[in-house]
Amino acid sequence: MSVYLYELPTTGALSFSDFCTDASTEKLYTSHIAEATQSRANLRAVLKESKRTQDGEKDYLKLVKILDDYLPRLRGVMVCVARNEIELKSEPVFSWRTTLSANLFNTSPRQSFPSLHADYAYSLLTHAFALSNLAKSKVTALGAYELDRAISDTERKAKETQLTVAADLLCRASGMFSYISETVLVDWESASPGPAFAKPPDVSREVNNALAKSALADAQTLAIRKLLSKSAYDSNVAPGPPLPKSHPSPALLAKLHLECAALYSSARALAGEITADLRRHLGDAAAFHGALARKWLGVDAGEGDRGGDAVGFLVWARKELEELKGRKSELESVSVFLKHYKKANDSLHFQPVPPQGELQARIPAGRLALAAKAFIPPQPAFGPGSLEDVRRRAEALELDGDGNADESSREARSASGTYAGAGSYF
């Protein structure tokens, strides 16, 4: 199952100086306000460029890096406004094009949203989309390397490393979606005391929770692929039983696929009114991984001389795969295993094939191979809590001869101008 490719939003032009006034005594933030405007303009430009670029040529890494630059500057504006060091002349309004909204013509409408929290939410959402799309581009570049008979062990391991990188990007995206759902959208609602307005699905807590589950499931599929990488190479000439020595435990594979199916199914239930393409992706992915779980439960039973269970699970898996489109290779693999274990059961074990309800009761719980990476919000580029602010306070203490200067200096040295994960894309 492939990683989902998100349509990226675009955003309207905006100048922070139109609604922000430096209220600090020393006028510390005038230049920072201008830099935040330029950083956001860079974000707008790269999103517009991406919109005009074909899918295979989009530069998702460039977008991620630009967001890594903009988000700390936006946080600087937000903390300064919260501490009254920057005053708002008027309520800022940000326009973003929604991309997850389901509608009759499948277009992406542009909507306007008040408050800095809105821009923070949409910028983080775009960041998570970009991380996921970057992961997909890395996976696409690998091709079906497991089927290359001429590939060396060194080359195969290098491909597996790229799978790990892509999975890590998806785990980061999952953590970011969760942070948006659990923190950013809650703060946005708390900061908007007026009448609630209808937010599009893109910035609803349920949809972002669903996206977190989907990204984590996508990461798990890559973990499964890496786990099967060596055995897939070893058996691509003669797939099916007997399993090569390099093959992972069929029972483990079944549990990993069951967890994928559960995550995709839960995401589908939470997603609500989103685009038909994403709903279809989640539904198909849940069904596909459920079928693969049944396949490996059947193989595990067959390898354990439980011929009746093997036939039952594999017949079930074959039926589910036949109902899905584009699963020819997997269907052929199931048929090979089914033929082998049915022959063994008919000639050696003579075990009855349990009904589907009985088999259902024997399905174990799923198992998670990877965990989402908790998102740590970016440190403000300026203002309270920033590295610049800590250094300024430390210097002031040193000039005053304060004995606490050493502690503040240590705090300044330990502070970081970036946030966890920023720049970690390879």
pLDDT digits (tens, 9 = 90+) for 63-105: 999 999 999 999 999 999 999 999 999 999 999 999 998 664 5
The answer, yes or no, to whether residue 413 has pLDDT greater than 50, is: no
Predicted confidence (pLDDT) per residue in 220-277, tens digit: 999 999 999 988 888 876 777 889 899 999 999 999 999 999 999 999 999 988 999 9
The answer to whether 169 and 132 have CB atoms below 8 angstroms apart is: yes
Q: How far is it, in rounded angstroms, from Cα 36 to Cα 69?
A: 9
pTM: 0.92
In 77-141, which ranges are E strands? 86-88, 93-97, 110-114
Q: How far is it, in rounded angstroms, from Cα 426 to Cα 65?
A: 13
Element spanning 33, H or E: helix 30-52
CATH of domain 16-361: 1.25.40.280
Predicted confidence (pLDDT) per residue in 322-367, tens digit: 999 889 989 999 999 999 999 999 999 899 999 999 999 999 999 9
Nearest to 100 by CA among 325, 267, 266: 267
Question: In this prediction, what percent of the chain has a pLDDT beyond 70?
Answer: 90
Q: Tell me the backbone φ, ψ of residue 254, rounded to 5 degrees.
A: -60, -45
The answer to whether 157 and 360 have CB atoms below 8 angstroms apart is: no
Nearest to 259 by CA among 212, 314, 319, 218: 218
Query: 379: burial class by Cβ within 10 Å (0-12, 13-18, 19+)?
Result: buried
